[in-house]
A and B are shown apart, each in its own frame.
Chain A
Amino acid sequence: MSSVSRPLLQVQDLHAAFATPNGLVPAVDGVSFSLSAGKTLGLVGESGCGKTVTALTILRLLPEATSHYRGQVWFAGQELLSLPTADIRTIRGNRIAMIFQEPMTALNPVLTIGEQISEVLRLHRGLSRAAAWEEAGRSLLQVGIADPASRLSQYPHQLSGGLRQRALIAMALVCRPQLVIADEPTTALDVTIQAQILALLAELQAGLNMALLLISHNLGVVAQITDRVAVMYAGRLVETAGTVQLFAQPRHPYTRGLLASVPKLNFHSAPDPLQAIPGQVPSLGEIPPGCPFQPRCPRAFSSCNQPPPWFQVGPEHQVACWLYAPGGNYA
């Protein structure tokens, strides 16, 4: 993070684990990153790598009874993980908002859109019923929903997928949060709707100077709207870099494999053969010791039995891979 002010969000050595009949299963294992106001960080990885659990831990949304977490999450000078529950409630939905993947399940089916958005305003801003309703209407206009007056009194099932996701974004942004966590915000949507929602998110984020943590498995989406990217595999971060740098010079064998396994939109020549990564993502609880990617890595060698530390490979570009150890002849 460059000079001047302290980052808005600083996650330090975050761990999260779930209690199961077979013992504690780690889901997030020592994740650290930071995010400044007005910036977008992409958290990328395949299903089950711990992206969503990371977000839920930051917001303290994991079920307390069955989950364990440790580490530090600094947000605007406060450490969230040690905050009393009452205090975290004043931050959640207010200064930090979350946009979920599935707009149908994230909205309450028995409340109208207007009731759901004004509830946020009445809770966090103490607005009257009428004032909150009016403000909710303005928030719908802001996310490009025409005719907000009638949409406010509709139920989620009366809206299309794209409109629901817009309503969810309106609800997240209505208190002007400093940080928005968007967990696969466009995954459930068709490409033409996805393009609209991504353009909207980027525009709102710049306009409101919000920090955006974008969680996605889609490298195309990440390339288009993030400033930095953190790549996650089996509960750990394996590489972080500026977005341009990461796509131009991916260093970790997993990042390289991931980029090479995505089919490119190409109608010109014969398609380049895809480079598949052999094997599959390890399930939680079966994560190998040492480097978690070692069993699938084409370049694994003896050092990989030890967990790799971070190595600096460029300005603001770190990679957790023994290939880049100083003095190593692989880098």
Chain B
Amino acid sequence: MPRGEIMPEPLLEARGLSKVFATTGAWTRRLHVAAVTDVSLQLYPGETLGLVGESGCGKSTLGRLLLALIPPSAGEVWFAGHNLSALPPAQLRRLRQKMQIVFQDPYSSLNPRMTIRQILEEPFIIHGLGNRADRREWTVTLLREVGLAEEALHRYPHEFSGGQRQRLGIARALALKPQLIVADEPVSALDVSVQAQVLHLFNELKGRLGLTYLFISHDLSVISYVSDRIAVMYLGRIVELAPRQHYARPGLHPYTEALLEAVPVPDPAYRRPVPRLQGDPPSPIHIPPGCPFHPRCPEAETICREIVPEFRQVAPDHWLSCHRR
């Protein structure tokens, strides 16, 4: 943990953040999708916060809200002392240099008609930084930073493998010397042997450049490898938030427990317990009343069906929302 005795100011803070999308259709009734509901969390300088959850739980929407790429329906995002939703556009734009994103799919996140040089120079041009010679020099440095050679500059994205493209995506995110990087499933599209290389790169860059990461993944093993603290998300809410080591202890949220048990362990001697969860998560269009997890929860009681559990601190730095814990 990068936190000392004195709590530093968080670099990024979400306060009661919610996002509701409305479906559009000419013939159907308008439906409301509660993608993110009442999320509050802090990101401290130099830490990696892992955000884990199953598909459709709202991880990516939360990542985009935190970067002010989409406006929240309710709540606020504070970055380095600024309320992002109250900031004039020009200032927000300047602040964006400090907060960048790395996308999941290295195939669709790089424009196939631009050379690597154009892709990497674009951030500088958008923000009006440097002259031709400066930019040229900076792009070469960026390539080196992510372990690619200068000759890559004149090639197109299709000439690179998945792992190399993800390196290019990271280089682009690093261009403006950000403090915060939101990495949204950055290794999910990669083969395991290449995935390890990219995870190494993330770790190494963090140490060298003093970055802060929000690392989004559905893969708990990857999350356990990269994170200082871990947030577990279910149906748009954070249900558990604690330092990494806490996840080895008992007393976790029942959903977290089920999630951990379900991870396939590469050890043939391991006897897998009978799957604890049956069925699928409900759709975020019809979120159940009370605790959103109660229809699948093996421990649900009457209170869980009626009242949304409060997100409360159960141990130092350990927050969860469950009536039974």
Chain A residues at the B interface, C-beta cutoff of 8 Å: 46-47, 160-163, 190-196, 198-199, 217-224, 243-244, 247, 257-259, 261-268, 271, 273-278, 280-281
Contact = CB atoms under 8 A, between A and B. Distances in A.
Given A220-B264, A244-B269, A263-B221, A192 B192 contact: no
A191 to B, nearest CB: 4
The residue in A217, A244, A266 that gathers the most chain B C-beta atoms within 10 A of its C-beta is A266
B222 A263 contact: yes
B215 to A, nearest CB: 12
B54 A244 contact: no
Contacts of B161: 280
Given A261-B195, A263-B221, A192 B270 contact: no
Closest A-B pairs by Cβ, 9 of them: A220-B264, A276-B196, A195-B262, A261-B196, A263-B225, A277-B193, A267-B248, A190-B54, A267-B247
B224 A280 contact: no
Interface in B219-251: 219-222, 224-225, 244-248
24 contacts: A161-B280, A163-B280, A190-B55, A190-B281, A191-B220, A191-B263, A198-B272, A217-B192, A220-B266, A224-B268, A244-B268, A257-B193, A263-B199, A263-B222, A264-B221, A265-B263, A265-B265, A267-B247, A271-B224, A271-B225, A274-B199, A274-B200, A274-B225, A277-B197
A196 B196 contact: no
B259 interface: yes
B193 A46 contact: yes
Contact of B224 (A46, A198, A220, A265): A265
Given A223-B267, A274-B200, A276-B200, A47 B191 contact: yes
Nearest to A247: B268
A224 B199 contact: no
Nearest to B245: A267
Contacts of B164: 280
A194 B220 CA distance: 14
B80 to A, nearest CB: 29
A243 B266 contact: no
A259 B244 CA distance: 23
Contacts of B192: 46, 217, 219, 258, 261-262
A281 B245 contact: no
A218 to B, nearest CB: 6
Contact of A276 (B193, B222, B277, B281): B193
B191 A281 contact: yes
B28 interface: no
A224 B222 contact: no
B263 A220 contact: yes
Contacts of A194: 262, 264
A314 to B, nearest CB: 15
Given A190-B218, A271-B225, 13 more contacts: A163-B280, A190-B281, A192-B275, A195-B261, A195-B264, A195-B275, A224-B272, A258-B193, A262-B266, A263-B222, A267-B245, A267-B247, A268-B245
A223 B218 contact: no
Contacts of B54: 190-192
A217 B219 CA distance: 14
B274 interface: yes
A193 B196 contact: no
B209 to A, nearest CB: 19
Nearest to A229: B268
B308 interface: no
A1 B270 CA distance: 24
B2 to A, nearest CB: 14
A271 to B, nearest CB: 5
A9 B197 CA distance: 38
A193 B280 contact: yes
B272 A195 contact: yes
Contacts of B20: none
A82 B281 CA distance: 47
B194 interface: yes
Nearest to A191: B262
Contacts of B224: 263-267, 271
A21 B218 CA distance: 39
A199 B196 contact: no
A219 to B, nearest CB: 4
Nearest to B258: A192
